[in-house]
């Protein structure tokens, strides 16, 4: 098998930075995507080492082996079936379960995080990382973050940022819908900008460039969650996830989730034509909306034929996932106002605000869709709300690109520095890299899962 162009933080931890774990009691937050470039799971790789004492595993949403569906409670299993190690779920029956217990973390010498993110603020794994940082910082345990590629690249940023009053597990911090950062970069951002005091060391990748999509890395793609089967899914997800806040299907229950969307009342050709015309008139391209009919096998509208579209991405650089999905929702509310509905059931442990407002980061997007606000006006609001993030983000970019340089972070200070108006918590430390340089209808609500 050809050597991958990119070496992940996990590969580098095992080969070059294992001293961070040697002789220590180690906890590991991982899932099915936590593999080396030659397909060895992180838990297995660490458990078989004599110089590392792996004592505790933590599983995020969807479980440690990635077999649980979205928002499915993961409880009842306290031992990993493969390694035999103690296992604690970080996605249980209530919101408090999203944080690891102090007593489990305080029993460790170091806590490792290694999970593949997909570059959208709704994807919960980076908040699992942040929650672990909060607890680890409180009990005095250092955290090691094994960095992985942002599979949809590190250049493009899209959307607004989450407003106060709308923070949740699908938007805990002031990130845009598509943030263009890696988990390692986000760990530093969370520490410095969100006030999480924790001693964090990031083991960076080598070879990754911000212009890369996942296929460019040469690394194997493993589903990081059950409905993220391909990189194509990840590309449309920053917009496609908005459908979770509606009673339209986001395509779960068939083979192309988030690329397919629709509902029983949708006329596929009318929807595709109306949405495409509005997007083209506003200057958006890089996509084709193909009319189709699909039959979900579970969740929304299961067993019912749904009219809809498949979002085909014809140019990833020109494609704006969030705007395409926003335009699709606007068309649905405009063409079928008697049928289009928002999800009002509890979503990610929150009943109020409703799901679309959590996903949109405020109630503004919902009102804009209902009132058919022009796309240009929506885009201008996003840009205005995101301005501070765009400025701050450059401080935490650890990787360069062929066309522009990544930002450089200041050297780490004391891990327990206090937050004051003049001094923020320190950036995460980086483990040294190897000598080679890093190149630059409403009743359908009853079908929803709990």
Q: Residue 296 has which token pair?
A: 């979900």
**pLDDT score for 438:** 34
| Claim to verify: residue 240 and residue 373 sit in the same structural domain | yes
DSSP string, 357-375: HHHHTSSHHHHHHHTT--H
Which residues face 178 on adjacent strands?
120, 158
Same domain, 217 and 279: no
pLDDT digits (tens, 9 = 90+) for 90-115: 999 999 999 999 999 999 999 999 99
Instruction: Please report which confidence band the pLDDT of residue 402 belongs to, taking 50, 70 and 90 as the band edges.
Output: low
Contact of 69 with 101, CB cutoff 8 Å: no
Half-sphere exposure of 289 (CA within 13 A, CB side): 27
Q: What is the CB neighbour count within 10 angstroms for residue 189?
A: 27
Domain that holds residue 164: 9-221+386-430
Q: Is residue 437 part of a domain?
A: no
137: left (phi over 0), alpha (psi -120 to 50) or beta: alpha
- pLDDT for position 430: 77
Residue 311 has pLDDT above 70, yes or no: yes
Residues 398 and 337 in one domain: no
**Which of 287, 286, 156, 151 has its CA nearest to residue 213?**
151
Determine, yes or no, domain membership for 4: no
Shared-domain flag, residues 188 and 314: no
- CA 37 to CA 44: how far, in whole Å? 14
Mean pLDDT along residues 339-365:
97
**149 and 73, same structural domain?**
yes
Same domain (yes/no): 210, 343: no
Residue 297 pLDDT > 50: yes
* pLDDT for position 64: 82
Q: Is residue 362 part of a domain?
A: yes
Q: Evaluate whether residue 2 is within a structural domain.
A: no
Same domain, 123 and 205: yes
- Looking at the structure, do residues 57 and 186 belong to the same domain, yes or no? yes
Alpha-helical (H) ranges within 23-65 are 42-47
Which CATH number does the domain housing residue 366 bear?
3.90.1150.140
The answer to the question of residue 3 being in a domain is no
Q: Is residue 296 part of a domain?
A: yes
Choose the weakest-confidence range: 308-322, 323-337, 400-414.
Answer: 400-414
Q: What is the mean pLDDT of residues 122-150?
A: 98
Mean of pLDDT values over 160-179: 98
Same-domain pairing of 198 and 76: yes
> How far is 2 from 154, CA to CA, in rounded Å?
24
- Read off the pLDDT band of 428 (50, 70, 90): low
Q: Residue 30 sits in a domain of what CATH number?
A: 3.40.50.12170
Judgement on whether residues 176 and 47 belong to the same structural domain of the protein: yes
Average pLDDT over residues 162-190: 98
- Please say if the pLDDT value at position 300 is more than 60: yes
3-state secondary structure of 113: strand
For residue 255, the Cα-to-chain-centroid distance in whole angstroms is: 20
| Whether pLDDT at 434 is above 80 | no
Q: How many CA atoms lie within 13 A of 404 on its CB side?
A: 9
- Structural contact between residues 331 and 370, judged by C-beta atoms closer than 8 angstroms: no
Is 138 in contact with 318 (CB distance < 8 Å)? no
Instruction: Identify whether 115 is part of a domain.
Output: yes
DSSP state of 378: H
Nearest to 144 by CA among 276, 20, 60: 20
Average pLDDT over residues 329-333: 98
- The pLDDT assigned to 63 comes to 79
What is the torsional sign of CA 344, 374, 312, 219? negative
- The C-alpha R_g of the chain, in whole angstroms, comes to 21
Between strands 110-114 and 143-146, the pairing is parallel
Among 7-11, 154-158, 328-332, 399-403, name the one with the lowest average pLDDT: 399-403
| pLDDT per position as a tens digit, 24-52 | 999 999 999 999 999 999 999 999 999 99
Asked if 191 and 299 sit in the same domain, the reply is no
Total domain count for the chain? 2
Indicate whether 54 and 160 sit together in one domain: yes
List the structure tokens of 125.
């794994």
Q: Where does the pLDDT of residue 181 fall: very low under 50, low under 70, confident under 90, or very high at 90 and above? A: very high
pLDDT tens by residue, 49-67: 999 999 999 999 977 865 5
Tell me whether residue 245 is in a domain: yes
């Amino acid at each position: 098998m050809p050597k991958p162009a990119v070496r992940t933080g996990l590969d580098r931890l095992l080969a070059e930075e294992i001293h961070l774990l040697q002789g220590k009691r180690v906890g590991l937050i991982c899932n099915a995507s936590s593999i080396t470039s030659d397909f060895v799971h992180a838990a297995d790789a660490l458990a078989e080492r004599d110089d590392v004492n792996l004592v505790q595993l933590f599983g995020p949403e969807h479980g440690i082996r990635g077999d649980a569906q979205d928002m499915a409670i993961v409880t009842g299993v306290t031992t990993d079936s493969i390694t035999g190690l103690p296992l604690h779920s970080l996605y249980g029956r209530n919101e408090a379960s999203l944080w690891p217990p102090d007593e489990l973390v305080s029993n460790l010498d170091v806590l490792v995080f290694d999970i593949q993110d997909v570059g959208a603020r709704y994807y919960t794994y980076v908040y699992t990382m942040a929650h672990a940082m909060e607890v680890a910082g409180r009990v005095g345990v250092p955290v090691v973050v094994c960095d992985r590629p942002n599979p949809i690249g590190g250049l493009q940023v899209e959307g607004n940022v989450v407003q106060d009053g709308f923070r949740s597990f699908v938007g805990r911090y002031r990130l845009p819908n598509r943030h263009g950062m890696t988990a390692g970069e986000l760990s530093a951002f969370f520490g410095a900008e969100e006030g999480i005091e924790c001693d964090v060391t990031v083991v960076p990748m080598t070879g990754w460039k911000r212009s890369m999509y996942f296929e460019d890395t040469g690394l194997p793609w493993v589903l990081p969650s059950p409905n993220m089967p391909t990189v194509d899914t990840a590309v449309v997800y920053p917009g496609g996830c908005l459908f979770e806040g509606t009673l339209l299907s986001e395509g779960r229950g068939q083979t192309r989730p988030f690329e397919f969307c629709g509902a029983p009342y949708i006329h596929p050709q009318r929807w595709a034509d109306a949405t495409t015309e509005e997007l083209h008139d506003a200057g958006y391209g890089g996509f084709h909306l193909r009319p189709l009919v699909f039959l979900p096998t579970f969740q929304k509208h299961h067993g019912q034929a749904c009219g809809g579209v498949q979002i085909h991405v014809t140019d990833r650089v020109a494609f704006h996932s969030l705007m395409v999905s926003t335009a699709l929702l606007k068309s649905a509310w405009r063409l079928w106002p008697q049928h289009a509905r928002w999800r009002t059931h509890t979503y990610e442990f929150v009943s109020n605000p409703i799901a679309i407002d959590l996903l949109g980061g405020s109630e503004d997007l919902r009102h804009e869709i209902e009132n058919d606000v022009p796309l240009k006006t929506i885009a201008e609001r996003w840009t205005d709300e995101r301005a501070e993030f765009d400025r701050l983000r450059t401080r935490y970019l650890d990787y360069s690109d062929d066309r522009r340089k990544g930002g450089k972070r200041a050297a780490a200070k004391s891990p327990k520095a206090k937050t004051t108006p003049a001094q923020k918590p320190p950036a995460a430390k980086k483990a040294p890299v190897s000598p080679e340089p890093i190149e630059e209808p409403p009743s359908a609500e009853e079908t929803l899962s709990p």
